[in-house]
Chain A
């Protein structure tokens, strides 16, 4: 059993470091566009500001409107604690923890979607429809990626299965997971986190009616999800186990930073896709992960 102090430190890492990532992405975007951009710590200021604000609730909405964002946040945090942090391992690790993580992520999505539909707004209804339609495809890609890792390592526990092997599989898996990361975190080319146009939004429009602390919780949850996917991606493609604890931690942090920078650069240089093209890209991600699975399965025999 890992001591309590370690667990608290891990919790603090997740809660306190996650809002840094969107700040870095925005900074990259601003620099590429030749602007100065908002401070890297902007999300922290926003969260602090939102936390002090009151909550506006539609007369149509049930209490679930306020409760569900909290449930979504807790389930995201739960999923996060199952993800190993390189040499520090996971808070909780058991046989099949990867499945629990997938279900916790899905629970988070379910809660956000439900809360969005509480106000009965046409905008949010459209956002939910888009979110869950694309989730079907991106979840298929994640499942394929997880299977590939399972087959590679013969394990269904994340601490051991996140050990990449050299070869073509890593490239396929890395590309597939990066596309999934962009889709799951509503980044360009799937969604535009900076747009003000309700009719084109996916994730942003779902949280349009939220305010104050519930909105803060949603924004924080989104940043944790981004950190979670960056960590998964890094550990799925960088062999950390070969290094000492300090080097491995450095590699992990560097990997997360590289993923964040890559997201920022993609957003700076790429236009957003039309909705009808999104399934094509997500199916591509699924196929990449599927081929990684095939490589892991058949490639080992040769």
Chain B
């Protein structure tokens, strides 16, 4: 073990890092406190750092109560309903992409076939077109096929986000697994399928976990597909957060509370998969 001596510069560096940390965390901190502030504390100038916290905004969005009775606002927002939609659509989209993407990525990594690189690149092109550009044709097609405003439709279109990511990232992980291991398996009489399932998959498991989480975040954060291709019944939380914008006021507190709730699943997932995440991200960092 090499011991590292800490000098003056390191302490300065630490302070600098701390400042940068504060700078980047501040917006998150601000949204967090906003969720617990009363409406008048949010709008006050100069801004308040010390305030008496309230749970009114969380109550408002979770139990459909209006935090501060004021003008309008009869149409309440079924926030948990949107939350459920987000979960259904994002999880299904990632699972389907994994089911299709893992074999595809394996094939791209291990088999030599004609047009392999072209096909591989083709998957990436799904991410090229701005979503806004393809949405009208998709909207038209969905209307005709009856996929508009359905979970199936949204899960399908989410493949544009999730599938290319999974194939592209996982291919790298598969390539990093030594071919010798598989050859050894072949010698021992395993079939290709068995090798993939019993040798390769366990090795790249951390990679799969990391990739799934990453894709899940992208799917979870998507706004425009749900907005245009869904109705109130299937739209995700990203669209629901908008419901707190009304003409009489912007319900900043409700919006902040909604954002925090929306970020929760991702945070929880990230905490639980942390060990995979770090291994996954550094897997293959050092080549043999």
Task: Answer yes or no: are A and B bound together in one complex.
Answer: no
Q: What is A's interface to B at a CB cutoff of 8 Å?
A: none
